[in-house]
Amino acid sequence: MNITIPFLLTCFFCISLNISAQNVIPKGELIEDLKYLNKAVIKTHPIVINPTWNNKLDSFITSVEQIEGDEVTAFEYDQSIREAISLIGCVHTAVIKSPLQGLLSDKIYEMGNNMFFPLRLFVDSSGLYLIDLERDNPESSIQFPFQVDSINGVGWRELIYSMSVHYPQDSYQKTLAYKLLNEYGSYFLRRHFYSVNSLLIKGNSENGEKLELNVEGVQNYENKCFEYYQPKGEQLIKEQDVSFYDLDKKSAYLKLETVNYENYQMVHQKIFDHLHSNKSNHLIIDLRGNGGGSQMVYLDFLSNISKDKLKIEMVKRDESGLNFFSKKRHKGKPLKKFYKRYEKIENGTKYFINPIPSKATLFKGNLYVLMDGGTASGASQLASFLKNNLNAICIGQETAGGETGNNGHGYDQLELPNSKIAINWPQYNVKLVLPIPINHRGVMPNFKINYDPKSYILNRDLEMEKVFQLIENSNF
């Protein structure tokens, strides 16, 4: 199971809420699509199996019905569908095609192809900040960070919400949305304010001074991004998605871009042979931005650490008599190579993974896991096993992927009857067998790292700073 940032950037462009009345559609069609979506969730979505899940679509549909007027614009329509999907609370349930998106792109090109507003943003639950203007700044008196009150009359709370509802997670928090807005904020602002070529930004300096800034759209700009920790030790492995460094005599750093890489058994053997031969005491596993991958890959990795056979159960709901999807969906089963045993349960079938036996020699040093809103799917499952079964110290932010499982493994497309918006639709509820109750949250860190605008400006990797502090204070 894997969710990638390029996929998100392709599928979840921000739609403005304050748009003109062109391309109007009967509101009744939107309500019909929302009710169809809600029915599909209740009848077929595996998230219903999670006993702690709460369906928020009923109240959302009621709120749309109460909006005055009989028509909505195409962009309000698209926005409402995406907001509803975010309320499902599943990182794998996302819009993959919307016919309404082409209208937005056409409008931007009509404006002169000025695709970007050259701004660097910092977003969190406390506010919206401008931390750099990526062009020559005629307003030289303005010091960054600049706390934003409004952009073109849209308040910062409304602006953040209207952009962040496009990023579903295995919960209702927004760490994935904030991560992407911080990295690609200039692009998303262009998508939000698609019908203008300039922005009027109002806000406050650190000392409370009221400020205004005018920013023009551009065709190209230098996209400065936050740079995470770059190891200075000896690099022992350099694969497409795996980098392994020997930092010093007692510490090693492993960066996993995904958990779906080739020759994984050989890669793991090389990693842990080095840790054993070097008698390393500390392994740092960096899962930030890791969208997931294969259960077999991460379970093989864990077999070098855990003496227990880690267990996973998957449930597929019985959909006989339903016509939301093609017949192929009903016939799909997990590969027998990985899931040999199954049993019929009420309204479905449960599959049991074949546990991978532990290696003869296990790494017994301290484990540190770096994670953030970009840690999802198989990567969040890996982080959860490391935390809950192996006492790893997790540092960062709540993951986008669930702590006690995800919905995924196989996928179909749900097409809404009126708009023809296509939605990625998972087939299975994947449950991790853990010594904690089932929940509907991401993996929570042992040490939560709260970034601020100045940390981003100074490019401080606060997770790594915390790791080095913990290692320095450890007993070995």
Residue 252 has pLDDT above 90, yes or no: yes
- Whether 132 and 144 have beta carbons less than 8 Å apart is answered as yes
387-408 pLDDT per residue, tens: 999 999 999 999 999 999 999 9
Distance between CA atoms of residues 338 and 390, nearest Å: 23
Output the pTM of the full model. 0.92
Residue 302 has pLDDT above 80, yes or no: yes
| Domain 234-472 coded CATH 3.30.300.30 | no
Distance between CA atoms of residues 333 and 331, nearest Å: 6
- Strand-pair partners of 350: 315, 343
Angle in degrees, 0-180, between the axes of helices 295-302 and 378-390, rounded to the nearest 10? 20
227 half-sphere exposure, CB direction, 13 A CA radius? 5
Distance between CA atoms of residues 384 and 202, nearest Å: 42
- Whether 407 and 90 have beta carbons less than 8 Å apart is answered as yes
303-357 pLDDT per residue, tens: 999 999 999 999 999 887 788 887 666 667 788 888 889 999 988 999 999 989 9
**Domain boundaries, given as residue ranges, for the chain:** 234-472
pLDDT value, residue 12: 37
